[in-house]
Structure 1
Amino acid sequence: MTVTRRRMLGLGGGLAAALALRDPAEAEAGDVVEVTMAGTGDGSRVWFDPIGIRIRPGQVIRWINRDPGNAHTSTAYHPSAFDRPRRVPEGAAGWNSGYLLPGEAYEVMLSVPGVYDYYCIPHEHAGMVGRIVVGAADPAGRPGGGLPEAALRAFPSVGEIMARGIVRRG
């Protein structure tokens, strides 16, 4: 069988599409999973997409600011980041990307299994938060408290993330 250029391009496109559509939790440890920082043109709404994601221990999360009108952060709920309540597993380090301008990115490798909650410093009160489940987690979720009401309402449930693998914004 002769492989034509058209057939080769078709196979390559199919492979790219399959990789783009697979469940992030099925990716290999070390693979990078992308979370977009976004907002409306007038800046009235901001969000992470996906807002909830399940990954394997050792995978890398990359946040990319695709919002042309705002700077954003990815900051773990962790005492090391502005003395915030711990909402990451015991033994897991916190992180703070600092302000990312449009087009900038930040990466973290998560290895400790459990639930990681994070937020955008300037937009937490607008509900710009996200949740990552690494490995398996109790679908009953997390205790509330100590966070703005808009942030608490925005988190997808751990059970939904465990069932779906990825939860896109609303």
Structure 2
Amino acid sequence: MNHKMLAGLCLALTVAPLAWAENFEVRMLNRGSQGAMVYEPEFIQLEPGDRIKFLASSSGHDAVSIDGMLPAGAQPFKGRINEEIEVAFTEPGLYGIKCLPHYAMGMVMLVQVGAAPLSTLKIPADAPERAQKRFQDIAARAAR
């Protein structure tokens, strides 16, 4: 009997953190509250283990992690155009996400996992000008 109780306790301790994870949705849009070619919301603060489902609310969009804008140990991801993708954010830090077809138009979003300071945001120098500007604007709005 004690072995069954111990096994049950071990299982509960293993599965419990997964039950605490939250799920969020982000819409990929042609037009939103912040203009054309946007993710809504453009900024989300998560805890490690939380998940985001990127919804293909308008056609022609995807969600792709940006090289150089992932925390150490985070797995890059690449969604497909016009398809939903669900991503678990397990590593604390800042994540930059882009829509590959509309990156030059500034279609990006920022995800903060844990207590990573927004001041540590590093935008790649080779990012398109509109994407750099939108990341700066997103970080400024999020810091308020």
TM-score, with normalisation over the residues of structure 1?
0.65
Q: 1:90 corresponds to which residue?
A: 72
Matched residue count = 120
Aligned CA distance change for structure 1 residues 77 and 29 (closer, same or farther; 3 Å):
farther
Q: Does 1:128 align with 2:94?
A: no
Q: Does 1:51 align with 2:42?
A: yes
- In 1, the alpha carbon distance for the partners of 2:102 and 2:109 equals 12
Q: Percent identity?
A: 28
Q: Deviations over 1:27-82 (max 9, x none)?
A: x7422100000114xxx921100111101100010000111xx321100012xxxx
Alpha-carbon contact 1:35-1:48 (below 8 Å) kept: yes
TM-score, with normalisation over the residues of structure 2?
0.76
Alpha-carbon contact 2:26-2:40 (below 8 Å) kept: yes
- In 1, the alpha carbon distance for the partners of 2:122 and 2:23 equals 29
Using the TM superposition, give the Cα deviation of residue 143 of structure 1 relative to its aligned residue in structure 2, in angstroms: 2.7
More helix by share: 2
Match of 1:37 among 22, 28, 31: 28
- In 1, the alpha carbon distance for the partners of 2:121 and 2:22 equals 27
Q: 2:8 corresponds to which residue?
A: none
State the secondary structure of the residue aligned to 2:52.
strand
RMSD between superposed Cα atoms in Å: 1.9
Q: Does 1:113 align with 2:104?
A: no
